[in-house]
Structure 1
Amino acid sequence: MRLLRVGPPGAERPAVRDADGRFRDLSSLTPDICGAFLAGDGVARARAALAAGDLPEVLGVQLTGEESPVRVGAPVARPGKVVCIGLNYRDHAAETGAPVPDRPVVFLKDPATVIGPYDRVLVPRRSRKTDWEVELAVVIGRKARYLDSPAAADDVIAGYAISNDVSEREFQLEFSGQWDLGKSCETFNPLGPLLVTPDEVADPQGLGLRLWVNGTPRQHGHTGNMVFDVRYLIWYLSQYLVLEPGDVINTGTPAGVALGRPDAPYLRAGDVLELEIDGLGRQRQIVGQA
């Protein structure tokens, strides 16, 4: 299934995209796409209602970001945690001058950074080095605590989405001994447009990722090049954190960020970001100034 949330910030409605590309309202089944919906039988009930043709159509939704009459929000409401993995692609580690890690590099990002896939990204005040990062996001659907093996991760994944792990590099690397300061500025995690359930993603390690700035290609990677794959990451995190339904894991970014490219200027107001991952849709953000 391809789940999404549409409407003004704080008043989004749950919806699903059908096989014909139309959007169907799930409000009769659930007030929102959240941890409770994902952990229970919400997806199964939505699937049954969609098959029965019982869901009314939502008109005016576009997944291009180009003047959509209906806003598209992040596909999961109120994630309790956004857990991020740093340096998880060898080429990205190389471009930043960092060694390939022996263990996953883990940090947390303020969940309030999560916004819709076409919402405006704001460059913070006094920022000089606001950067982009296209990433595969994994949304948790069942509690994960001390999983026995990476294979057990399959049972706790609700779905996959595109994430833009926006980062302010000066705040991140020069102003603090930890990364959180440069990762948790407002609007720094566009997510979506779709939450695609695992049955529609044949292999999370078989996806291409791409990002453009003002039409110029900046990132072109593949999830098969992750240092630690999705299943391993979920297993690993469960040994230290309790992952709850609705939590988001940003799994790392490939090479091509501004930090690693002297020829690529950092983001400024008016820039346009476009991101896509195979099978998960496309994001577009216009950059503004805080």
Structure 2
Amino acid sequence: MDALKANWVKVAGVILLTIVVAFITVKLAVTKPQSQTTTVYDKVIKSGTLRACYAAYAPQFIKDPNTSKLSGVFFDVVSKAAENMSLKIDWNAEITRGEMAEALNSGRCDIVGSGFYATSARARAAELSIPVFYNPVYVYVRANDSRFDSDFKIANDKQYTVATVDGQSSQTIAINQFPNAKTLELPQASDASQLLLNVADGKADMTFSEPALANLYMKNNPGKIKEVSFGKPVQVYGNSVAIKKGEFALTSALNGAILELFNNGYVESVLTRYEKEYPGDYYRVALPYSTPAK
């Protein structure tokens, strides 16, 4: 009787093991592999539309206050790049410059196409395209202030105050090149012209700006500020399109399209056109080739 019982236990064990193995086999056979996460590039190609946020900032990106018509170097170049990739571009949302990363990470747009200085902080927060052009940044002080006429670097001292915008290039320059100076910091969403106004009004001794903005301010407010870098930039920044961090496929596609616009002369024609109104603001990107000597 004990032998018979033992045999039944063995049979039951074999049956149970067979059922378990069969269950696992069937489960593995019917389980589909998880699909890969859809990239922004995939969505753009599928929809045929590139959604672009923008921060209006002349001359990179201009929005007419009366008609809302868009123009500027980046509007022209990015729109043409999208067209050449057989994509419709939708400039779908205006943002502040400080909202770049949030707009990309939230899916509000696929790119921020209005152009940004390629700083370390922005490179950490987003992918940046190859630069479309470079901007020189100069030093500006009050027009009647002669203390910096021979050397603006003396401002690296606690007795001087530098006007900056939180998170923007002016703050980066102040931290890296004038660490001993005091700073008058403006909120991130502040208009860049406020920096020049703070110097003109005596709230700060010095600030930094690209020439297009400063020249426009000096044209509208003669005798208020002057440039003391003597034509030598305190910093030079590349201007790039911003893409969500990790979206390498879309970044690569944009880079290829922008490079084509360099090579066929389109970027040069755009810069030449806007340079008439904003002289001295555009440093060209060197072409990656040279024509053979004849």
Per the shorter chain, which TM-score range? under 0.3
TM-score after normalising by structure 2: 0.26
TM-score, normalised relative to structure 1: 0.26
Q: Which structure carries more strand by proportion?
A: 1
Largest Rg, 1 or 2: 2
